[in-house]
């Protein structure tokens, strides 16, 4: 889901102008709308930058521009403008928030969890091999790979 026309009109004035060299050399900047749609796709999905779909500019362009905009404070202004647009359309209420919906068990339950994990041992040799490679002590081992 890319930015709508209304959202783009709210965001476009907040973006810095394109840098054009006086001698007109170098690659032209990609359309800022495409770049911000690519950035928002990564932030929405949580996918790595390299998994950016081909319909967006390259992940290097999107990531580099995202870093510049965050450092310059542009991205905060963009997110505020998008939030204001959503609030104006009645999609969110900015005075309500949910910080975190996860939970953690109490420490007294830890012994029970350890017993449950110990009872559910892996059943295949592949699982046992995986445990060796995922071991926290693996980084301390001096493996001879010759």
pLDDT in tens, 72-131: 999 888 888 878 888 888 888 878 766 666 666 556 556 666 666 666 655 565 555 555
Query: Is the same domain home to 77 and 118?
Result: no
Query: Is the same domain home to 66 and 12?
Result: yes
Query: Is the same domain home to 129 and 60?
Result: no
Q: 83 with 94: CB under 8 angstroms?
A: yes
> What domain count does the chain have?
2
pTM over 0.75: no
Residue 109's pLDDT is 57
**Residue 129: domain span:** 107-139
pLDDT mean over 23-30: 77
Gap between the Cα atoms of 58 and 76, Å rounded: 22
Closest to 84 measured CA to CA, from 2, 14, 1, 17: 14
């Amino acid at each position: 889901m890319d930015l709508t026309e209304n959202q783009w009109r709210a965001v476009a004035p907040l973006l810095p102008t394109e840098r054009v060299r006086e001698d007109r050399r170098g690659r032209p900047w990609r359309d800022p709308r495409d770049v911000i749609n690519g950035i928002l796709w990564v932030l929405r999905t949580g996918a790595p930058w390299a998994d950016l779909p081909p319909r967006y500019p390259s992940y290097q362009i999107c990531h580099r521009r995202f870093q510049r905009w965050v450092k310059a404070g542009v991205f905060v202004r963009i997110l505020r403008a998008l939030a204001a647009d959503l609030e104006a359309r009645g999609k969110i209420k900015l005075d309500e928030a949910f910080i975190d919906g996860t939970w953690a068990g109490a420490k007294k339950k830890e012994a029970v969890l350890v017993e449950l994990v110990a009872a559910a041992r892996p059943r295949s040799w592949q699982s046992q091999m995986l445990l060796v490679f995922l071991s926290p002590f693996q980084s301390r081992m001096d493996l001879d790979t010759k």
